[in-house]
């Protein structure tokens, strides 16, 4: 009794041997699944930027500042703009975490104890914090209207007074101040001693001239007390722009359970003004906020032990905003920064990879475990140290641990694994091309196809910066619906796409025995190309269309069989279209 089995849909990795279906694999390394479910050796990358003094790439950013696109990165304690040659923009502490974000046309750099900015030209500079206007319409005795809160970034403040025509003494909201920095009358800067004197202890200004009564503020005083609480800002690690329906606030997080958010500097959105009262405490002090993301107009908050949500609320009575928080899940959070994939959050937690799916109840979400097929491998790594990235143009969710990358193709709902020659430290997509920084200070650029340069084929897309990409796919054990019968397979028919360099080695393993050397023939489909000729490889198998090759298996008297596909040739690629197995079924197994 003969039966034909065909595998023409490859379904990625499934490490659960007892629940595999035809087309799934127990191991896939450096193969990916194409949009039409074919098995293709992954693309390689080339060195885009050589190493510096050996330090790793800490952070990368790409976007428009000052009407020009820039590729910015941090390495060896310096900020660079990518160009030929490189442009150094200044120094920054070589801390482990360096956050780069843009807001209101300015690029900011946040790292432990330091906060700098870049305007698109010149060098990076220290952020000059906004000086908050504490009170307005203040009478000389100090009674007035509260306006803005203290700025965590500075000890400087200002206050506006309205002269009453009888008093020369103007009382500030603080005593025991450090200094009075500027005094203005109707916008004109006054001269100390000549125009006014100061009592630092009492916090008062005494003018030498008695100004007439005003209906508008005419005196403005700038003073300093203390230095603020700068570390409450600079000790945060991550940022996100959010404001409900309008992203006009910067939220900083990553240091404990506190989230701080920027305010409006005299009515204008600013990342240089963090009011002292603009904070959220999430859960308990034992919780660490790991990741924030936006879903529609809702802010989702993930700690290392639970999940919350919030949204911006505006108090029409006070004119103030608030971010009230509500519990979302008390048992599942995230251990590293997640990704928003097709508008659903994905997080990594103790049980694996979770997708947060909306229910029919408003603001309610279910955490769905997505990683059962690869859970055995995830259980052996420290998820806290993983780096995640959404390679949106390919529909791939990357989970990077050292130089191993587990890929979840969320368009196809399949998993596979990459093993890179370098260890990524950060990822970035520019014009649909994926870049990554490395632990040795290089920047790599993935290549999508072989190119022709000056009459010579460039094989950057076939190697990892010149190193061979070793690809293997171990398909799952198959019993062809009858585990109790012995089977015989004399031949397999394998179809691959022809390419300039394309080959495939095939092994098999049964419950009885396995092959230790690849079956003959090794499948080769190569276009004729004078730029890359090995005359010993000449063949008449030249075709632009997938063509099946008959391979002699000689697998006998087995109950289960699996096929192992391999390509470890330099500058090679391969795309497996289908595998056809004529199976002869015999008697019962013994």
- Whether the per-residue pLDDT at 553 is higher than 50: the answer is yes
- Whether the per-residue pLDDT at 135 is higher than 50: the answer is yes
β-pair partners for 209: none
Tokens of 560: 């289960």
Residue 364: pLDDT band (50, 70, 90) is low
What pLDDT score was predicted for residue 556? 87
Scan for tokens 């930027």, then name that residue: 49
Dist. CA 300–CA 279, nearest whole Å: 16
Q: Are residues 152 and 220 in the same domain?
A: yes
Last residue of one domain, picked from the residues 190, 224, 258: 224
Residue 362: pLDDT band (50, 70, 90) is low
Read out DSSP for 140-188? TTS--EE--PPBTT-SEEEEEE---SS--EEE-S-SS-SEEEEEEETTE
- The residue with greater pLDDT, 212 or 321, is 212
Residues 6+ apart with CB under 8 A from 359: 365, 366
Residues 6+ apart with CB under 8 A from 575: 34, 38, 39, 40, 41, 496, 497, 499, 502
Dist. CA 267–CA 489, nearest whole Å: 77
Residue 432 lies in a domain: no
Lowest mean pLDDT among 115-119, 460-464, 522-526: 522-526
What pLDDT score was predicted for residue 153? 98
Taking alpha carbons only, the member of 295, 302, 299 closest to residue 312 is: 299
Dist. CA 102–CA 250, nearest whole Å: 10
Taking alpha carbons only, the member of 167, 115, 106, 109 closest to residue 142 is: 167
CB count in 10 Å sphere of residue 513: 12
Q: Are residues 120 and 150 in the same domain?
A: no
Taking alpha carbons only, the member of 30, 55, 58 closest to residue 464 is: 30
Q: Are residues 554 and 474 in the same domain?
A: yes
Read out DSSP for 79-131? EEE--SS-EEEEE----S-EEEEEETTEEEEEETTEEEEE-SSS--EE-----
Taking alpha carbons only, the member of 489, 493, 502 closest to residue 556 is: 489
Taking alpha carbons only, the member of 202, 207, 203, 222 closest to residue 169 is: 207
Average pLDDT score, the chain: 91
CB 17 within 8 A of CB 24: no
Chain segment 232-272, per-residue pLDDT in tens: 999 999 999 998 767 789 999 999 999 999 999 998 999 99
Chain segment 282-306, per-residue pLDDT in tens: 999 999 999 999 998 899 999 999 9
Q: Are residues 15 and 82 in the same domain?
A: no
Residue 528: pLDDT band (50, 70, 90) is very low
Dist. CA 372–CA 19, nearest whole Å: 11
**For the chain, how long is the longest CA-to-CA vector?**
114
Q: Are residues 102 and 138 in the same domain?
A: no
Q: Using DSSP, state whether 588 is helix, strand or coil.
A: strand
User: What number is the average pLDDT over the span 335-357?
Assistant: 96
Residue 523: pLDDT band (50, 70, 90) is low
Q: Are residues 532 and 479 in the same domain?
A: yes
Phi, psi angles (nearest 5°) of residue 50: -70, 170
Tokens of 71: 């590729």
H or E stretch at 74: strand 68-75
- Whether the per-residue pLDDT at 542 is higher than 90: the answer is no
CB 30 within 8 A of CB 41: yes
The proportion of the chain whose per-residue pLDDT surpasses 90, expressed as a percent, equals 74
CB count in 10 Å sphere of residue 465: 17
Burial (CB count <10 Å: 0-12, 13-18, 19+), residue 259: buried
Dist. CA 45–CA 459, nearest whole Å: 10
What pLDDT score was predicted for residue 324? 92
Split into its structural domains, the chain has a count of 3
**pTM attached to this predicted model:** 0.91
Q: Are residues 119 and 146 in the same domain?
A: no
Strand stretches in 330-386, DSSP E: 339-341, 344-349, 352-358, 365-369
What pLDDT score was predicted for residue 554? 87
Dist. CA 195–CA 175, nearest whole Å: 21
- Whether the per-residue pLDDT at 538 is higher than 60: the answer is no
Residue 245 lies in a domain: no
Residue 241 lies in a domain: no
Last residue of one domain, picked from the residues 204, 224, 244: 224
What pLDDT score was predicted for residue 376? 94
Residue 313: pLDDT band (50, 70, 90) is confident
Dist. CA 513–CA 529, nearest whole Å: 40
What pLDDT score was predicted for residue 545? 75
Strand 31-33, strand 451-453: pairing = unpaired
Residue 465 lies in a domain: no
Q: Are residues 489 and 526 in the same domain?
A: yes
Chain segment 490-522, per-residue pLDDT in tens: 999 999 988 878 889 999 998 887 765 565 555
Residue 332 lies in a domain: no
- Whether the per-residue pLDDT at 535 is higher than 70: the answer is no
Dist. CA 566–CA 552, nearest whole Å: 17
- Its domain, for residue 120, covers 62-126
Phi, psi angles (nearest 5°) of residue 539: -150, 155
Lowest mean pLDDT among 404-413, 433-442, 558-567: 558-567
For the chain, give the number of residues.
590
Tokens of 122: 């010149």
Distance of CA 91 to CAs 76, 117, 369, Å? Answer: 9, 12, 43
- Whether the per-residue pLDDT at 340 is higher than 70: the answer is yes
Last residue of one domain, picked from the residues 126, 142, 172: 126
Residue 209 lies in a domain: yes
Residues 6+ apart with CB under 8 A from 534: none
Q: Are residues 495 and 552 in the same domain?
A: yes
Task: Look up residue 255 and give its DSSP letter.
Answer: S
Residues 6+ apart with CB under 8 A from 85: none
- Whether the per-residue pLDDT at 116 is higher than 50: the answer is yes
Residue 383 lies in a domain: no
Residue 550 lies in a domain: yes
What pLDDT score was predicted for residue 234? 96
Q: Are residues 108 and 137 in the same domain?
A: no
Task: Look up residue 471 and give its DSSP letter.
Answer: E
Q: Are residues 142 and 86 in the same domain?
A: no
Q: Are residues 24 and 67 in the same domain?
A: no
What pLDDT score was predicted for residue 579? 95
């Amino acid at each position: 009794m003969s039966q034909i089995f065909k595998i023409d849909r490859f379904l990625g990795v499934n490490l659960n041997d007892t629940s595999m279906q035809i087309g799934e694999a127990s191991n896939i390394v450096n193969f990916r699944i194409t949009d039409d479910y074919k098995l293709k050796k992954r693309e390689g990358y080339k060195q885009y930027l050589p190493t510096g003094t050996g330090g790793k790439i800490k952070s990368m950013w790409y976007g428009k500042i000052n009407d020009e696109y820039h590729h910015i990165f941090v390495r060896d304690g310096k900020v660079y703009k990518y160009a030929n040659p490189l442009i150094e923009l200044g120094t920054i502490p070589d801390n482990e975490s360096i956050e780069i974000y843009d807001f209101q046309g300015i690029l900011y750099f946040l790292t432990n104890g330091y906060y700098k900015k870049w305007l698109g030209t010149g060098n990076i500079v220290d952020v000059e914090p906004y000086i908050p206007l504490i009170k307005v319409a203040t009478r000389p005795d100090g009674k007035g209207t509260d306006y803005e809160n203290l700025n965590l970034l500075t000890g400087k403040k200002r206050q506006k007074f309205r002269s009453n025509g009888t008093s020369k003494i103007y009382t500030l909201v603080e005593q025991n101040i450090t200094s009075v920095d500027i005094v203005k009358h109707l916008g004109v800067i006054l001269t100390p001693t000549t125009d006014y004197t100061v009592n630092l202890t009492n916090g008062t200004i005494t003018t030498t001239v008695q100004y007439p009564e005003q209906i508008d503020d005419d005196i403005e005083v700038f003073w300093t007390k203390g230095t603020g609480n700068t570390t409450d800002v600079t000790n945060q690690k991550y940022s996100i722009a959010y404001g409900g329906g309008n992203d006009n606030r910067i939220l900083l997080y990553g240091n404990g359970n506190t989230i701080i958010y920027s305010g409006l500097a005299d009515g204008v959105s600013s990342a240089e003004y963090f009011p002292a009262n603009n904070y959220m405490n999430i859960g308990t002090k034992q919780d660490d906020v790991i990741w924030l993301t936006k879903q529609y107009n809702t802010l989702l908050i993930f700690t290392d032990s639970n999940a919350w949500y919030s949204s911006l609320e505006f108090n029409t009575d006070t004119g103030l905003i608030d971010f009230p928080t509500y519990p979302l899940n008390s048992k599942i959070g995230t251990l590293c920064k997640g990704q928003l994939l097709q508008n659903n959050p994905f997080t990594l937690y103790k049980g694996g990879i979770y997708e947060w799916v909306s229910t029919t109840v408003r603001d309610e979400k279910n955490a769905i475990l997505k990683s059962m097929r690869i859970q055995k491998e995830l259980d052996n790594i420290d998820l806290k140290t993983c780096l995640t990235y959404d390679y949106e143009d390919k529909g791939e969710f990357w989970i990077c641990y050292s130089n191993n990358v587990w890929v979840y193709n969320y368009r196809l709902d399949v998993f596979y694994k990459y093993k890179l020659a370098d260890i990524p430290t950060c990822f970035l997509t520019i014009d649909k091309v994926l870049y990554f920084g490395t632990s040795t200070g290089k920047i790599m650029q993935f290549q999508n196809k072989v190119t022709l340069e000056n009459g010579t084929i460039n094989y950057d897309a076939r190697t990892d910066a010149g190193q061979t990409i070793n690809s293997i796919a171990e398909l799952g054990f198959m019993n062809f619906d009858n585990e109790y019968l012995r089977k015989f397979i004399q031949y397999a028919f394998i179809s691959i796409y022809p390419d300039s360099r394309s080959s495939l080695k095939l092994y098999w393993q049964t419950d009885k025995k396995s092959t230790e050397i690849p079956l003959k023939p090794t499948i080769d489909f190569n276009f004729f190309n004078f730029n890359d000729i090995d005359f010993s490889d000449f063949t008449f198998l030249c075709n632009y269309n997938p063509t099946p090759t008959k391979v002699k298996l000689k697998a006998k008297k087995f109950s289960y069989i699996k096929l192992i596909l391999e390509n470890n040739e330099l500058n090679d690629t391969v795309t497996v279209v289908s595998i056809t197995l004529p199976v002869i079924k015999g008697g019962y197994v013994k």
